[in-house]
């Protein structure tokens, strides 16, 4: 078969399908709606990612899981369990999906991809700082379904945190965000990093082990260092009686 004949066959076949209405052109509105949906999805993703960056910042500031690391190996588990992995994962996921969507826009390939990433990350981080600075957590922290995202995991298999409400020698009682009181005991071998005597009202984090209902502390650290009264803020935010 000659090349010209083949060429004719291609156009004939295509036009035959078109005329038989087996192939139909998509309407303009389909593409307009597609662009609108893409824009809306991107805007949503920017807000979503910024909100979760704010949550990571909040948890790192208020919950400060990194303070457990000062206890060495014993602090590793509470650090890993208190670190906002899910929020961080959602941030990374949001950024990746957002960049994937951005690549669907015609302009994206004409720009340096690293510049696009830099602009996108700067935008969401800036927005996260704005959300953080306007006190979003105080306004919406009690609302469902956002509220639970701000809650701190105050009691675990080998850690506990809360505010000191009573202290007597090497025994004290602390109260958590949920209002639950816990008896704490420790001895001279405990690693105490409180920068002074423990007093009523101090916000403490402890690692150790449970002996029935009593927590035997092996390490105690004061949170907030007098600068950010993290747990106190959480307690007041969620309406726990001081």
Alpha carbon separation from 139 to 12, 86, 134 (Å, rounded): 66, 23, 9
Min dist CB 25 to other proteins, Å, is 6
Min dist CB 22 to other proteins, Å, is 9
Options 21-29, 52-60, 85-93, 217-225: segment touching other proteins (CB under 8 A) = 21-29
Q: Which two tokens stand for residue 92?
A: 């990374």
30: contact with other proteins by CB under 8 A: yes
Cβ(200)–Cβ(167) below 8 Å: yes
134: contact with other proteins by CB under 8 A: no
In 66-114, where do the E strands start and end? none
Nearer to other proteins, 3 or 227 (CB): 3
Cβ(206)–Cβ(215) below 8 Å: yes
Q: Which of residues 82-121 bind other proteins (CB under 8 A)?
A: 109-112
Residues near 147 by Cβ (< 8 Å), separated by ≥ 6?
140, 141, 238
13: contact with other proteins by CB under 8 A: yes
**How does DSSP classify residue 108?**
G
2: contact with other proteins by CB under 8 A: no
Nearer to other proteins, 33 or 80 (CB): 33
Min dist CB 158 to other proteins, Å, is 50
> If you search the block for the tokens 């670190």, which residue do you land on?
83
Min dist CB 31 to other proteins, Å, is 4
Cα four-point dihedral sign 102, 108, 113, 117: negative
Residues lying near other proteins in the complex (CB under 8 A)? 6-7, 10-11, 13-15, 17-19, 23-28, 30-31, 109-112
């Amino acid at each position: 078969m000659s090349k010209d004949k083949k060429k004719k066959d291609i156009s004939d076949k295509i036009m035959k399908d078109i005329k038989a209405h087996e192939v139909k052109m998509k309407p303009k509105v389909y593409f307009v709606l597609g662009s609108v949906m893409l824009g809306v999805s991107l805007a949503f993703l920017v807000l979503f990612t910024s909100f979760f960056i704010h949550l990571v910042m909040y948890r790192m500031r208020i919950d400060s899981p990194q303070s457990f690391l000062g206890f060495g190996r014993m602090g590793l588990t509470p650090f890993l369990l208190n670190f906002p992995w899910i929020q961080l994962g959602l941030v990374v996921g949001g950024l990746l999906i957002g960049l994937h969507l951005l690549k669907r826009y015609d302009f994206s390939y004409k720009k340096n991809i690293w510049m696009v990433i830099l602009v996108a990350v700067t935008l969401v981080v800036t927005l996260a700082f704005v959300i953080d600075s306007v006190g979003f957590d105080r306004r919406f922290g009690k609302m469902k379904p956002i509220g639970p995202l701000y809650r701190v995991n105050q009691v675990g298999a080998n850690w506990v945190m809360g505010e000191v409400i009573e202290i007597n020698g090497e025994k004290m009682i602390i109260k958590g965000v949920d209002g639950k009181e816990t008896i704490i005991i420790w001895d001279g071998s405990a690693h105490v990093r409180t920068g002074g005597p423990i007093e009523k009202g101090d916000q403490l984090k402890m690692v150790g082990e449970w002996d029935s209902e009593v927590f035997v502390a092996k390490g105690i650290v004061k949170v907030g260092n007098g600068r950010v009264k993290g747990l106190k803020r959480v307690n007041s935010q969620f309406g726990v009686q001081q």
